[in-house]
Structure 1
Amino acid sequence: MRNKALYLFFALFVCIPSFAQILDPVKWKVELSKISADGKATITYEATIDKDWHMYSTKEVTDGPVPTSFTLSEVEGVKITSDINPRSRVIEQYEPAFGVTVGWYEDKATFQQQVKISDKDNFTLKGSVRYMTCNNQNCLPPTTYEFDLSQHNAVAKKKNNSSVAEVEVKDKPQEETNTTPLIAIKDLPINNDTVQTIAVSAENHQERIDTWANVVDEMKAFGEVKTDEGKDSLWKTFLTCLLGGLIAVITPCVWPIIPMTVSFFLKRGKDPKKGKRAAITYGLSIIAIYVGLGLIITVLSGADGLNSLSTNAIFNIFLFALLVLFSISFFGGFDLALPSTWSTKIDQHVDKTSGLLSILLMAFTLVIVSFSCTGPIIGTLLVDISVNGSLLAPTIGMLGFAIALAIPFTLFAFFPSWLKNMPRSGGWLNSVKVLLGFFELAFSLKFLSMADLAYGWHIMDREVFLVIWIVIFMLAGLYLLGKIKFAGDDDVEIVSVPRFFLSTFCFSMCIYMLPGLWGAPLKAISAFVPPLSTQDFNLYNDKVSATFKDYDDALMYAELKNKPVVVDFTGHACVNCRKMESSVWSQPLVKSLLTDDYILVSLYVDDRTELPKVEKVIENGKEIKLTTVGEKWSYLQRSKFGANAQPYYCLLDPNGMPINHPMGFTENSGEFINFLRTGLKNFKKIIKENDK
């Protein structure tokens, strides 16, 4: 049983990657209600959405994701009498990747539309639904679901990236053809080389190796798809809260209690071993109380409760006000404490009881008495880990916090001589508390910024945020040097070594943030500051952009340059694609590899630009028409690589053969660099073998 428990514990922190697969997170059901005597009826569109996925609403947002849209393409004997009426609650949240507030549905989405039918026994009613879905890891290309409600015989089929999403009147009808279009590369400067023009005839193209052939098995030979969900891991949550617990130990509410509590246990019994056992029980009781708190939060919030609240604009304003309140308390403005009667009553029960119950009550007393210091720290940690999205995050976080808080009591009970070397209580404890107040105040601005972005107030743009942070860290540095005093502070006649290093850190942060006022990315704090899109003045312009937007053109140019190709399956509405480009591609080494050693081609699967000619392909035994650029690249990703999620990166040689396993979303630049380097190494091996 013990081994099984350990196995399950560690299994919580392990993510098992899988090979690429076609994802289908939405199931549609389209029905026509009973037709009334006067011919009125209701079309009901019902979408069932898989867990952890969301489908975007019908509201179109400029520069946002592709909205859900409904089209009745073939209508005979039917009159549409109303617009689409959404019947499900829309979740609206600010999306930093787009810089706008977007709406989406989770679990289920229902829509209705009223129609009037002239002859209920003879009518044609065909249409389609076009929608886009994402989760925290991937975004799928826009997908079209077709339905046929003619004469009440509902026949539906799914067709990815169909062009039947909207009916548009064009000046000239599209011409259907099976002819492969000419591949031409014109005026494309690469790395400032001489501009070159290449033209390849259709006949020469047919002689080349089929660069669109399926390579799923070949990719598997290189290993599994590498991906990162982009969430904070439970290990990171545990370690962050462990650090928070260690900080709580050196606050004025906890530090002075340690020697008194340990001495009580050692003197309570004649046998020192019993005193040590009591101290261990005391530490375990502290852990049990805080873990219980984490479990309560988990049960009350559910798997996504805290995450939904943490991205809600009104709740972010509340969190901002709460953290400002905590900081004022740490600055000495008032004492934040639980009612004193609580601790008094528990103390009375401690005196009347003995054994395990007595020790447990003492642990409760510590939790209540230390709340004025630990409460703000716990609150801040819970707010921070709420964006984790994991059901276990609050529990794991409180476990880390409680272990750190309980360690000193247990250690000093086993090594009583250490008590003599403990720093005495004094003004330094108040300094720790005030310093935490500065950090609480700085952290609070993150939530005000989220609310500002959601409502579009533009009162907390990036440069304003950075100016306030620079001032806060500057004041914190001056405080550590004794230039500023708060209530309860002693005079600082000599700057201690810890004060010196902490003040150096604060002033260094000020200098680090200064270039951000002119647009520097500030990657170390990018998770806290508003996006660069909110900055009015920006001198930073060092973005990696793909030279090619066409797969065949990129391969032809790669053959000319004798370089491998990075195929980037992306989307205009792909959140994680933008994250990759801003946080990983901008790294100097990654940028160098992408621009100097590879030919980079970005294929947008949601690009609705019409193809010059309709292309017919066979997929799953059925003929489908590709009418837009996005449909073409989405088909390429499905047919060649067996995947349909974005971002999705493939490394190929000029013949379209893989030179490494594919990679999905990751914020680990080192992992992405290794991915590129391995592909480059494999490509060089192929060249050497061909030269022999």
Structure 2
Amino acid sequence: MRLKRNVFLILTLLLTFTLQAQIFDPVTWDFSYEKKGDNQYEIVIKATIEEGSHIYSMDIPDGGPIPTSVSFDTVPGYSLQGVVWEAIEPEELFDEAFDLNIKSFSGKAEFRQKITGNSPSFKVNGIVNFMACNNVTCSPPKDVEFEIRISNTAADKSVAGSEEVAPVRDKKGLLGFLLLSVIAGFAGILTPCVFPMIPMTVAFFSQGSENRKKPVLKALIFGLSIILIYSSLGIIVSLTSAGAGFANALSTHWIPNIIFFTLFLLFALSFFGAFEIILPNKWVTGADSRVDKGGMIAAFFLGLTTVIVSFSCTGPIIGALLVEAAGGDVLRPTIGMFGFGLAFALPFTLFALFPSVISRMPKSGGWLNSVKVVLGFIMLAFSLKFLMTIDGVYSIGILTRDIYLAIWIVLFALLGFYLMGKIKFVHDSEVTHVGTFRLFLIIAVFAFTIYLITGLFGAPLKGLSSLLPPQETSWFYKKQLLSDDKPVPPSVIALSPVSKICSEPEYDDLFEMPLGLTGYFDYGQGLTCAREQGKPAFIDFKGHACANCKVMEAKVWSDHEVLKRLRENFVIISLYTDDRTQLPESEWITSAVDGKVKKTIGKINEDLEISKYKTNALPLYVITDHEGNPLNKPMPTNLNIEEYKKWLDEGVAAFKLKLP
């Protein structure tokens, strides 16, 4: 009983994680020019301001806030004509804080400067200094550097400033998680705690069926109630996990990962029959007593009773979904619980609406327990993901790809033998024969096991890349890569002479480049080498626990043409934002973003990504010049190889244009 209480307590604590840090960055800048005549141009500086925020005018009285200002570098290529003016009229309001009438811009602002060009092509460099505020807070005065290349032949008239990078929501990832949640909801139906409840539920709605409309209405209320209850649980998790950096902290720190591993292990043991996870009996009796009172409200409480009673079987599935959701997009818990509730409520509601169909349902029996055991094996396999994260983030190096695959191979082989009836668990019935569906399931499991075995011998297993340790941790992969007399796997063929590194990379004892590439793991060292070699820098913000980073490397970087470009055209700088290796005190930094001291490799790299590129999204690929300034728009996850190649080529072209 104590174990059951502890498990429930841990589940409750998981829902209360919260982190409030936010990046206040409400302004996006765009820089362009317009040609007004022979050698006559206007520099156009536009600001897009989020609703509820504002920036100040260039004309601010003494004693007021810091005004917006624009300054230009003086170079021979052009000359300024007049001064910068505001192309949009600011709004003037009385500000009680300064006791002055203050002009400001909300929504958008635009500034212009006339120039005369003194050569066919030239660059205009400058800095915008501004301060953004809303009703709660203000950002410190901030500089945004810009560079506009002007040419009579160039088509490019716009260069976005360093403010343009914004986190990109992975819509495909959310849809995939919704689909996973729906599947989990249907799986919850096929458990011994839930499946036998369907006929009893239908019997409740059949009472008083002389009026057909009432049972239909009750059934709809019942289904919507289940969806509402599960969605509410998801909303609670979403609200308590909303905050910049929460996903990274939750998915990379060893404490939550140990908790999640333990939970998955307990869920698996519960499905194997070691114990049951149940909610307090008074919750069940309390909800059930409301059902007995009848009426439409009874349909809601019947839904609540169904959720509570079924928890001993659905609890592990719900817990696993919430654990997976908590480390990602803030909407994932809500979407996940909505999908689960929708799939879970659908069969109950349909059978209540069409009770005659219930006679065609398969009878309860030992196959229901088999569903639980299969789910137990799957959860046991997925529990290793959290140990893999700890191993990678803290550079332990024990759970390599080979060991990980070996454990999975054993688990899925055991699952195959279980389906054949060679292994039995508590509550299992005797398997007298193998049915058609079970036979195909056995074939699928053993085929998957053989597929995993190929991974021990260098197969990339691209379809599982997000769930496995990096391929470079594989013994066979390293042996093939270093072998002189054996062929190298296709993904690491030397397509051209590999770019020579300028000096021994720092932290090469902690990290490895994928696919046989060479590069650096320190921002400054990488930019220095890029300057020496006269190449653009390719910055790869990544993480040990970043599933999309592994998918991009396995499915996009491994493409022949992409890999060729990465080898020949760039100096690669891979920066792990979740690594927990602590640096010597002399290398610590104080963040300009939050004022905190950053002591680890990951925290310093994450602070660089946030402060310079205004996002903490992973992965993020940035092609930069030798000062770290983006040459084109940074690229998040994008599995379209053609678009990725085009983006790489655009970065190289922009770099060549900047060359003197």
TM range (shorter): 0.5 to 0.7
Residue 413 of structure 1 corresponds to which residue in structure 2? 352
Q: 1:311 to 1:225 in 2, by over 3 A?
A: closer
Choose the corresponding residue for 1:315, options 256, 267, 274.
256
1:486 to 397, 405, 425: 425
Q: State the 1:227 CA deviation.
A: 11
Tell whether 2:312 aligns with 1:343.
Answer: no
**Structure 1 residues 457, 547: CA separation in 2 closer, same or farther (over 3 Å shift)?**
closer
Structure 2 residue matching 1:518: 3-state secondary structure: coil
- Native 8 Å contact 2:552 2:638 kept in 1: no
Name the counterpart of 1:437.
376
Change (3 A) 1:216 1:502: farther
Query: Which residue among 647, 659, 662 is the counterpart of 2:621?
Result: 647
Counterpart residue number, 2:492: 543
CA contact (8 A) 1:648 1:664 kept: yes
The 1:356–1:580 alpha-carbon spacing in structure 2 relative to 1, beyond 3 Å, is closer
Q: 2:329 aligns with which of 389, 395, 400?
A: 389
Amino acid at match of 2:452: M
Within a 5 Å distance, the mapping from 1:132-531 to structure 2 comes to: 216-217=156-157, 233-304=173-244, 305=246, 307-351=248-292, 353-390=293-330, 392-531=331-470
* Matching residue within 537, 557, 560 for 1:591: 560
How far apart are 1:219 and its partner, in Å? 11
* Contact map agreement 1:323 1:440 (CA 8 A) in 2: yes
Instruction: Give matches, 1:634-673, under 5 Å.
Output: 647=621, 664-665=634-635, 667-669=637-639, 671-673=640-642
Shift in Å at residue 317 of structure 1? 0.8
- From the superposition, tell whether residues 345 and 571 of structure 1 become closer, same or farther in structure 2 (CA, over 3 Å): closer
% identity of equivalent residues: 38
Match for residue 553 of structure 2? Answer: 582
Q: Is the Cα contact below 8 Å between 2:556 and 2:562 reproduced in 1?
A: no
Q: Structure 1 residues 213, 523: closer, same or farther in 2, change over 3 A?
A: farther
Count of residue pairs brought into register by the alignment: 417
What CA distance in whole angstroms lies between the structure 1 residues aligned with 2:464 and 2:381?
12
Structure 2 residue ranges without an equivalent (≥5): 1-27, 32-49, 51-126, 128-140, 481-487, 501-534, 575-611, 613-618, 625-630, 650-660
Deviation at 1:270, TM superposition (A): 2.5
**SS in structure 2 at match of 1:233:** helix
Distance 1:417 1:439, change over 3 A: same
Is the CA contact 1:316–1:447 (under 8 Å) kept in the aligned structure 2? yes
SS in 2 for 1:429: helix
Q: 1:502 to 1:21 in 2, by over 3 A?
A: farther
Matches within 5 A, 1:17-32: none
Amino acid at match of 1:647: Y
Structure 2 distance, partners of 1:312, 1:431, is 35
Distance 1:594 1:412, change over 3 A: same
Give the whole-Å Cα distance in 1 for the aligned partners of 2:551 and 2:273. 43
- CA drift at 1:673: 2.9
What's the CA shift string for 1:310-357, capped at 9, x where partnerless? 222111011111111110110011111112232123222322x23232
Shift of 1:606: 6.4
Retained in 1: the 8 A contact 2:466–2:550? no
2:571 is equivalent to residue 604 of structure 1: yes
TM-score normalised to structure 2 length: 0.55
* Number of the residue aligned with 2:539: 571
CA deviation after TM superposition for structure 1 residue 439, in Å: 0.4
CA distance in 2, matches of 1:229, 1:455: 27
Alignment-mate amino acid for residue 603 of structure 1: F
The CA distance in 2 between the partners of 1:341 and 1:426, in whole Å, is 29
Tell me the distance in 2 between the aligned counterparts of 1:580 and 1:490: 41
User: What letter matches 1:425 in structure 2?
Assistant: S
Task: Provide the rounded CA distance (Å) in 2 between the counterparts of 1:212 and 1:254.
Answer: 72
What CA distance in whole angstroms lies between the structure 2 residues aligned with 1:282 and 1:532?
49
> Is the 8 Å Cα contact of residues 566 and 572 (structure 2) preserved in structure 1?
no
Q: Please say if residues 225 and 662 of structure 1, whose CA atoms lie closer than 8 Å, have aligned partners that are also in contact.
A: no
Which letter maps to 1:292? Answer: S
User: Deviation string for 1:149-179 (max 9, x for gaps)?
Assistant: xxxxxx9977799xxxxxxxxxxxxxxxxxx
1:246-270 CA distances to partner (integer Å, 9 max, x unpaired)? 1111111111111110121012442
Q: 1:274 to 1:381 in 2, by over 3 A?
A: same
- Give the direction of change, closer, same or farther, for the CA distance of 1:512–1:662 in structure 2 (3 Å limit): farther
Q: 1:591: Cα distance to partner? A: 1.1
Distance 1:599 1:375 in 2: 46
The answer (yes or no) to whether the contact 2:237–2:326 under 8 Å persists in 1 is no
Q: Is the 8 A contact 1:249 1:405 kept in 2?
A: yes
CA distance, structure 1, for counterparts of residue 248 and residue 568 of structure 2? 35
1:459: Cα distance to partner?
Answer: 3.1
Please state whether the residue corresponding to 2:207 is helix, strand or coil. helix
Contact preservation (8 Å) 1:253, 1:370: yes
Long gaps (5+) in structure 1: 1-18, 23-49, 51-143, 145-154, 162-209, 551-566, 608-637, 639-644, 651-660, 681-692
Q: Secondary structure at the match of 1:338?
A: coil
In the aligned structure 1, how far is the partner of 2:262 from the partner of 2:561? 44
Amino acid corresponding to residue 430 of structure 1 in structure 2: N
In the alignment, the residues of structure 2 paired with residue 247 and residue 336 of structure 1 have an alpha-carbon distance, to the nearest angstrom, of 17
Give how far 1:647 is off. 2.5
AA of the residue aligned to 2:492: K
Structure 1 residues 489 and 512: alpha-carbon distance in aligned structure 2, compared to 1, 3 A threshold: same
CA contact (8 A) 2:409 2:452 kept: yes
- Contact map agreement 2:220 2:349 (CA 8 A) in 1: yes
- Paired with 2:412 and 2:152, the residues of 1 have a C-alpha distance of 55
1: distance between equivalents of 2:550 and 2:378? 26
Counterpart residue type for residue 363 of structure 2? R
| Change beyond 3 A, Cα 1:449–1:568 | same
C-alpha change, 1:212 and 1:396, in structure 2 (3 Å) is farther
Structure 2 CA distance for partners of 1:288 and 1:230, relative to 1, 3 Å: closer
Give the conservation status (yes or no) of the 8 Å contact 1:295–1:395: yes
Shift in CA distance, 349/646, structure 1 to aligned 2, threshold 3 Å:
closer
Distance 1:646 1:399, change over 3 A: closer
RMSD: 4.4
Query: Do the aligned residues in 2 keep the contact of 1:238 with 1:396 (CA within 8 Å)?
Result: yes
Distance 1:477-1:386 versus aligned 2 partners, 3 A rule: same
1:230–1:666 CA contact under 8 A, matched in 2: no
AA aligned to 2:621 is P
Matched position secondary structure for 1:243: helix
Letter in 2 for 1:322: L
Instruction: Tell me: CA distance 1:213–1:463, structure 2 relative to 1, closer, same or farther (3 Å).
Output: farther
> Residues of 2 paired with 1:599 and 1:527: CA distance?
22
Paired with 2:344 and 2:306, the residues of 1 have a C-alpha distance of 10
- State the SS of the aligned residue for 1:571: strand
Say which structure, 1 or 2, has more relative contact order (CA 8 Å, 6+ apart).
Answer: 1
Write the letter of the residue equivalent to 1:379.
Answer: G
Q: Does the 8 Å CA contact 1:231/1:388 hold for their aligned counterparts?
A: no
Residue pair 2:621, 2:636 contacting (<8 A) in 1 also: no
Residues 441-484 of structure 1, C-alpha deviations (whole Å, 9 max, x = no match): 00111111212223344332211111000000000011111111
Does the CA-based 8 Å contact 1:386-1:393 persist in structure 2?
A: yes
**Which amino acid in 1 is paired with 2:182?**
L
